[in-house]
Amino acid sequence: MRLFLIGRWARCPSYILALFLLATPAWAVLPDEMLADPVLEARARAISADIRCPVCQGETIDDSNAPIARDLRLIVRERLVAGDTDAQVFDFVVARFGEGVLFNPPARGANLVLWFAGPALLLAGIGVAVAAGRRRVAPEASLSPQEEAQVREILRE
């Protein structure tokens, strides 16, 4: 009976549309974390969009439900309330967690490897492809008269 109902509802386009509309991303920022000042809250959201969750690695701290992400969100908001600029907030977070928490790390020092490895490998791949395309195959050597006679004898048998 239950399977019948699921199948029956699945054929209804409005039911499917409602499921897609309900499947929105779950924001991890809780109401008790939000700042009362909308300008500061907007700055906190903008900063949080550029900070990666140290646990999740693929999510911003705003999208993550990890406890460390919550702590980072609170730290960002505390620093903004204390009067820090956006750059000072980023410096504070990077000083404690390293540049690995930034989605767009600055192009300096060891990060230059990250910035230039992709284009360098692309150019190397193009170079290998061009070199392989230009490589010529040597023409086959012709058989000596003695080898031709041996081939004819083999083919006669």
Question: Residue 113, class by beta-carbon neighbours within 10 Å (0-12 exposed, 13-18 middle, 19+ buried)?
Answer: exposed
> Percent of the chain beyond pLDDT 90?
11
Task: Measure the CA–CA gap between 99 and 107, rounded to whole angstroms.
Answer: 11
- Token pair recorded at residue 36: 């009362």
State the pLDDT at residue 146: 92
In a domain, 79, yes or no: yes
Domain that holds residue 43: 36-119
Q: What is the CATH number of the domain that holds 55?
A: 1.10.8.640
139-155: per-residue pLDDT in tens? Answer: 677 888 898 899 899 99
Half-sphere exposure of 114 (CA within 13 A, CB side): 12
Looking at the domain assignment, is residue 157 inside a domain?
Answer: no
Q: Is 34 helix (H, G, I), strand (E, B) or coil?
A: coil
Examine the pLDDT at 2 and tell me if it is beyond 90: no
- Domains identified in the chain, total number: 1
**pLDDT tens digits for 81-119?**
888 888 899 999 889 888 888 888 777 777 778 778 889
Q: Angle CA(137)–CA(143)–CA(147) in degrees, nearest 5?
A: 145
* Within a domain: 51: yes
Is 62 part of any domain? yes
Is 74 among the domain residues? yes
